Amino acid sequence: MYPLDFNLFGRTLFKGVMDMTTYRAHFNPEDYKITKLLFHEGTGLQSLLFIFPAVFLVLPVVWLRKRRVLDYVRVLFLIFPVLIYLIYRFIIPLANTRYLYPLFGCGIICGIYALKSLNFKGKPLYIAAVICALASVPELAKRTELVLSVVISVSFIFLLPVLLKKTILIFSAAAFIIILFPLEKFYLRNEYPRYLKMVKYSGFWPDAARAWEWLNNNTQGDNIAYIGRPVPFPLYGTGFKNNVYYVSVNKTEPVRLHDFSNSRYGWGYDFMSLHENLEAHQNYRGNGDYATWLKNLINKDTDYLFVYSLHQTKEIVFPVEDGWAVGHPEKFNSVFLNDTIHIYKVIR
């Protein structure tokens, strides 16, 4: 449940730092549309064939089939998809389909369990599973990806009986493993140039991709402190060569949300109010102090400071650490600069 502050009938069951209103601040009813959930996320047909029937019918079907003998563990498992949805929609209302993946997994298992209890099994079940998998493809892929995925899937189905022969299976596995070596070298050589090519699909922006590439080309096992946006992965560099972390602006270091027992977070639809709230006195970015922050940086042997502009603000705004770095050129040497990303070399 954390960081939700969960109360029931006036009593706090799980102490946290945010209420449900805050969770809902950046979502509207359109985000929960069933058509969006089913037909734009690759989850449609299997939900209609297996999950929805399982959610509503599996418990009575199994109860009747098992002659009204059900243990508590089995009952809990069979109603688990319903519980997940209720938590997703009404308790922690984050309108992202990935939070429902446990529901889809359990729901499909419950659906198959119910069908097995009714002695519905064999080829029709396998055919339905294959159709569901293929039906998800056009929701997740377009054009070339779609054609290739269908061709590969169909080819694999027809070739499977041949591939399962012992000699061919061993040869195919060995060939596949050998091919992985040049593919890995190709990936590592093109990892960061491809970030720039793929930004139009990824949701990130060219400024960030150029900054990631510069950092990768100019580091070799360095310590990288980042701030502004929670996007640390590309900063690790090829082969995860760098060490990446957030450095606290106050005396609590390393900083963890639950270390601030009196913290409270709340904001509206405007993301600037979110960033201002994080810097409130009792919150984890509160009481920011340059000398303390610098000491934290030096104690971690920081080599580079990577500064993102703040997330989803109307204008380009940088976090307070960027102003501190600009104001102290004797400690921070600007080595990369564009409209939304600043990188500094920390002088120790």
| pLDDT band with cut points at 50, 70 and 90 for residue 27 | confident
Per the CB < 8 A criterion, the answer to whether 324 and 293 are in contact is: yes
| Residue 331: strand, helix, or coil | coil
Pair type for strands 332-337 and 223-227:
unpaired
Q: At 52, which helix (H) or strand (E)? A: helix 52-65
pLDDT band at 70 (very low <50, low <70, confident <90, very high): low
Report, as an integer, the average pLDDT of 254-281. Answer: 88
For residue 188, what are the contacts with CB-CB under 8 A and spacing of at least 6?
A: 238, 239
Say which residue, 75 or 281, is predicted with more confidence. Answer: 281
- Higher-pLDDT residue of 339 and 154 is 339
Contact 59, 75 (CB under 8 A): yes
Where is pLDDT greater, at 22 or 292?
Answer: 292
DSSP assignment letter at 285:
T
Residues paired with 227 in a beta bridge: 307
Q: Where are the domains of the chain?
A: 33-160, 206-346
Specify the pairing of strand 341-346 against strand 304-308: antiparallel
Pick from 28, 46, 32: nearest CA to 139: 46
Among 16-20, 130-134, 317-321, where is mean pLDDT lowest? 130-134
Q: Tokens 């204008």 correspond to what residue?
A: 315
pLDDT, tens digit, 9 for 90 and up, residues 50-65: 788 877 777 777 777 6
pTM of the model: 0.75
Any idea which of 7-21, 73-87, 218-232, 323-337 has the lowest mean pLDDT? Answer: 73-87
* Mean pLDDT, the chain, whole residue set: 85
Question: Residues 202, 205, 209, 215: what is their CA dihedral angle, to the nearest 10 degrees?
Answer: -130
pLDDT in tens, 142-177: 677 777 777 887 887 777 777 677 777 788 788 889
